[in-house]
């Protein structure tokens, strides 16, 4: 009897130790991967860094996504951010820039594996639900916009601000941005304009809008579904969308500025877009001129060509093109200068090279789009 009690106590102690170890691991994890109800749930878990995406996170999410895709007991995949402020504020670009002087391969590995994950989300055979509550920028857009369902709330803040750091709107931006209504995607790409709340849905970035106070209830209802098909998931999302305070506020951007955006941003050169804005002369156009004048001239030209070419490419072709662009940007000046000015020294005064649009030649531009041969991105 004593031996049995001792064995039971030891067994209990081992279970408690194992549980503690798991809890400690969970607290330290940058991403939580859980099977709950009928779903696989991904939680981006770096709230102090607004859930910025690291290579370590990508390397955990990708294989788990693939496992859940093949698992007959997993019927949908939900991705969300911890902390209440952000879904994901972007890739950890500070670490990527620092890697230029230390781990050179990070600049290759990060973008390659991130884009492979973006493609896996787009082609995922299971319904994929991204709860884009809070800040959703750059790499966070790549984790959400390619999925079947994207749920915005009044706290959502979407932007692709890369031209301000000497980069370009990557993670498939060359695919989804030119496919937004009119010239909206070109405007968002070049200016880094921030869409907020219901405008994220109006723009087509989100498929549904739900009040943030109902988000937890929505998630629980999705998890409780029994062997749901995509239509069942869509039905739940649509019921919450219908109950939301969708029309509570007016949209300045969509009600007042759409025609200006379509008119001014429908040019094939950045110089012509700037001329269109000058000729328009409205307060809105003047504000966009001010914004564009602060952006990297090289990034502006790369971005416009990226979207023009991407408008007729597949997502995989766009990601291949964007991988080439990232590798050229890593070797250039503006990305590292942009990160310095915005994230390191925070003086907000980057010194771009070249400093003017007319100094960025077609030859310069062509070099960014060149094939990397055997180093090209492969799926």
- The residues annotated with a catalytic role in the active site are 91, 139, 162, 170
CA atoms 85, 90, 91, 95: torsion sign: negative
3-state DSSP assignment of residue 209: strand
**Residue 328: left if φ>0, alpha if ψ -120 to 50, beta else—which one?**
alpha
CA distances from 188 to 159, 169, 271 (A): 7, 9, 17
User: Is the distance from CB of 38 to CB of 75 less than 8 angstroms?
Assistant: yes
Q: What is the three-class DSSP state of 33?
A: strand
User: Which residue has tokens 């001014």?
Assistant: 264
Whole-Å CA distances, 318 to 24, 34, 96, 374? 40, 31, 21, 17
CA distance 204 to 191: 18
**Long-range CB contacts (within 8 A, 24+) of 330-335:** 330/96, 330/100, 330/107, 332/166, 332/298, 333/166, 334/166, 334/296, 334/298, 334/299, 335/97, 335/165, 335/166, 335/167
The residues that bridge with 41 in the sheet, in sequence order, are: 34, 78
**263: number of Cβ within 10 Å:** 16
């Amino acid at each position: 009897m004593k031996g049995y009690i001792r064995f039971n106590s030891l067994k209990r102690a081992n279970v408690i130790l194992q549980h503690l170890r798991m809890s400690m691991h969970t607290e330290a994890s940058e991403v939580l991967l859980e099977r709950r109800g009928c779903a696989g749930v991904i939680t981006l878990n770096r709230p102090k860094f607004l859930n910025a995406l690291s290579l370590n996170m990508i390397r955990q999410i990708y294989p788990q996504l693939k496992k859940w895709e093949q698992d007959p007991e997993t019927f949908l995949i939900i991705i969300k951010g911890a902390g209440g402020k952000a879904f994901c504020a972007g890739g950890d670009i500070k670490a990527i820039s620092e890697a230029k002087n230390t781990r050179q391969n990070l600049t290759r590995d990060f973008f390659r594996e991130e884009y492979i994950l973006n493609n896996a989300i787009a082609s995922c055979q299971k319904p994929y639900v991204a709860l884009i509550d809070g800040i959703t920028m750059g790499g966070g857009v790549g984790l959400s916009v390619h999925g079947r369902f994207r749920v915005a709330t009044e706290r959502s803040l979407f932007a692709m601000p890369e031209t301000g750091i000497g980069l370009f709107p990557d993670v498939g931006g060359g695919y989804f941005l030119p496919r937004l209504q009119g010239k909206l995607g070109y405007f968002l790409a070049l200016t880094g304009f921030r869409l907020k709340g219901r405008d994220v849905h109006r723009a087509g970035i989100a498929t549904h809008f739900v009040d943030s106070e109902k988000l937890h209830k929505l998630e629980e209802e999705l998890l409780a579904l029994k062997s749901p098909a995509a239509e069942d998931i869509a039905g739940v999302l649509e019921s919450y969308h219908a109950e939301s305070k969708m029309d509570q506020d007016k949209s300045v951007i969509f009600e007042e500025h759409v025609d200006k955006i379509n008119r001014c941003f429908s040019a094939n050169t950045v110089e012509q877009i700037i001329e269109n804005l000058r000729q328009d002369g409205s307060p809105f156009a003047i504000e966009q001129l001010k914004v564009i004048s602060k952006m990297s001239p090289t990034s502006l030209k790369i971005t416009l060509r990226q979207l023009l070419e991407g408008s007729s490419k597949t997502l995989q072709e766009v990601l291949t093109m964007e991988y080439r662009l990232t590798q050229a940007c890593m070797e250039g000046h503006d990305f590292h200068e942009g990160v310095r000015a915005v994230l390191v020294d925070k003086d907000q005064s980057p010194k771009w090279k070249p400093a003017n649009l007319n100094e960025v030649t077609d030859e310069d531009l062509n070099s960014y789009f060149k094939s990397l041969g055997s180093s090209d991105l492969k799926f």
